[in-house]
Every structure is written in C-alpha cells, then in structure tokens.
Amino acid sequence: MSLKKICLVVGLILTVTGLRAQSILVGADFATRFDNREFSANTFDQSQTLFSARLTPFVGVEWNEKNRLVMGVEMLQNFGQHNGEREPFLSDVKPLMYYRFRTKNVQANAGIFDRSELMGEYSHAFFSDSTRFYHSRLSGFLGRYESTRREKTYVELALDWEGMYDTDTREMFRLMSAGRYTLPCGFYAGYAFSMFHFAGAKSHENVTDNLLVNPFVGWEFTAYFDFNIKTGFLLAPQRARSIVPGWKKQCGAQIDFSMTRWGVKIENNLYVGENLQPYLYEISNPVTGQTFDNEHLYAGERFYSTTEHIYNRTWLGYNRSFFNNTLTVDAGMIFKYDGTGTGTQQVVQLSVKLDKLFRVGKKNKENL
C-alpha cells in the first residue's frame, strides 16, 4: 500500500468516526538508532553498522475510556541506502491499524500494533535488538491480564502473523506468551515462550517449527543502587519436518544481572549451553539434496548459535527518560564474548513518544 493511499484511508476514518467519537487521538512515535558492531574477533556474528530512523504518525478515536481505534503509518529510512545510483525517498512504508480494549486489569489488541504493547520479559535469545527495532509491529492479536494488587504480576498471549503462504513467500507466524508473579519482598518467578512456524512457499516446500521456553526466577531490590538478579533455563525444541526426522532439543541456562542509578546502567547476561539455532544457515534434504534457507527462522541474537557452549554480553551505558517520559535516551557500549573472541558494539538510540487526546464538545485534555 502506498503512502498516499494510507493517508487517504486515515483521513476518511478520522472524518467519518470523529464526529461520533467522544475523543480524538493524535500522536507520533519517532526513533533513530545508531548501532556499530565490531565482531571481527567473533565467529558467530558479523561486523556491520546499522543507522536508521523511524517515524510513525497516527490518529484515532476513543470512546467510553476503554475502547480505542487507531490508524497510522510507519515510515523507515536506512541511512545511506541506495537503489543502484538512486537513493529511495523511504526504505519502507507500512500501515499501523488496530483496535484496543483496556481496563485496569485487562488489555486486548487486534490488528497491526506496536511491539511496545507487549509487557513480557523476552530475553535476547527470543528477540535481538535489530528485531525489536526493525520488526517493531505485530500483526495479529494480544491479550493480557495484569494484577492491580501485586506490582509486576501479569500473564499475556500474543500472535504475530509475519508471512503469507504464496508462490514466492513463506507462511510464518509466531505465538508468544509471558507471565510473572512478584512477591512484596521483590522475589519473582515467571516464564517466556515463543513458537515460530516457518513454512515453505509453494515453489519451495518445507516446514520448520522453532520453540523456545524460558522459565526463570529472580530478585529485585534496592541498596543505594537498583539491583535485578535473574536466573533461568532455556529449552529450544525444533524440527525441520521435511528434512530431518525427529526433534532437536537444544538447551542451556542463563544468568542476568543489572545495576542502575541515575540512568547509568551495568548489565551482564551469561548464557551457558548448546547451540539454540542449529538450523540458522542453509540445510539440505539428505535424500533429494534440496536445500532450504532458514536465515529468518530465528529472531534472537546470532550469538546464541555458539557451539562453544558460552556467550556473555556486558552492557555499560545510560538509559533515561525526560519530559514526562516523552523523550528517552539509550546509549552505551556492549562487550560480547562467544567462546572464540570478544567483540564490541556501540549503540545510541533516541526515542520520542507523543500523543494528545482531544475531548469532543469539551475542553481539550492532554493524555500523556
């Protein structure tokens, strides 16, 4: 869908529904990210620099303070991208459109909505930094229950439909779930789950199922600094139905530690275990010799494909929000060790989130 058509649809919906709505929502999300990766000493990921900006203006209507219908457009520009000798006006343009029902305890989304609607604690084994930034929209459903009696206690379930079965495109969908129960003393237990179905196109039949389960326990407390210590188990059963019989049951353990104050943050994630991405690269059918490219099978960091049974990630940086949480700055240095060498990553990301709710027939009221 072209940008012109998306804007026309947004305008029509706002015109037709705005007259009847109790409130009109207008806003925009903006993010720019610089990510320089120097992994020449590592085996399980490659060096590159990613530098992009994303703008998502949106409008919507809200009624009964619980229902919201939103439409917008996500515009992405990769800096320095060229199509031959010509630089494209925009690298990608995609729609944003969803219905949301929300109360103090319950939230339900349907349509195409932002990944930030998720509350679950999905580690980098589930979604890498690149996935979170460049695949920022979920297409499907989200349902969540959140306790008002216990802080940080919830359970959620979401479906993201990423690809349609066709002649040249692969059917892809991901089922996600996460939950957490927190005690008053700061101890907590929870889980994260993902099931990714990666089917072949009509011209290239193959089906691969990729599951990842992460039960964990942890403790959050304050002793001048804010501390969070978490340990969990990662189990990744997966199979390539048309190629290898049976399931691969890769597994490992992870320990996470973070310490923050005044926005300054030190975080360390240590993974010890097997290769969680055994089908990452091209695999072939031993009978027919047909090959299959599974590059998009895994959304997690490539370092979890280590065969050296260890991966350590250390983050030293600054993360803080300003102006009533409308502006967030995230910058730092990341050190990664994969059992073969140490690489570095320099990251700077600036995010802006603005929205304003206009009451029809009443005095305008800001919703920040």
Query: Which tokens sit at 70?
Result: 């939103």
pLDDT of 220 strictly over 50: yes
Mean pLDDT taken over the chain: 88
Query: Which tokens sit at 62?
Result: 């809200």
CB atoms within 10 A of CB 132: 16
pTM of the model: 0.88
| Alpha-carbon gap, residue 284 to 268, rounded angstroms | 37
Please tell me what DSSP assigns to residue 207. E
Sign of CA dihedral 146, 158, 35, 89: negative
pLDDT of 295 strictly over 80: no
Lowest mean pLDDT among 41-55, 260-274, 294-308: 294-308
pLDDT of 14 strictly over 90: no
Classify residue 29 as exposed, middle or buried by CB count within 10 Å of its CB (0-12, 13-18, 19+).
buried
Whole-angstrom CA distances from 144 to 10, 153, 158, 178, 180 are 27, 11, 9, 9, 12
pLDDT tier at 70, thresholds 50, 70, 90: very high
Give buried/exposed letters for 287-302 (b at 16+ CB in 10 A, else e): eeeeebebeebbbbbb
Query: Which tokens sit at 76?
Result: 């992405």
CA angle, residues 338, 240, 143, in degrees to nearest 5: 80
pLDDT of 153 strictly over 90: yes
Query: Which tokens sit at 7?
Result: 């804007």
User: HSE on the CB side for 48, CA within 13 Å?
Assistant: 5
Read off the pLDDT of each residue in 60-83 and give the average, rounded to a whole number. Answer: 93
Residue with tokens 């050296």: 308
Give buried/exposed letters for 197-209 (b at 16+ CB in 10 A, else e): bbbbbeeeebbbb
| Alpha-carbon gap, residue 247 to 209, rounded angstroms | 9
Asked if residues 234 and 273 have their Cβ atoms less than 8 Å apart, the reply is yes
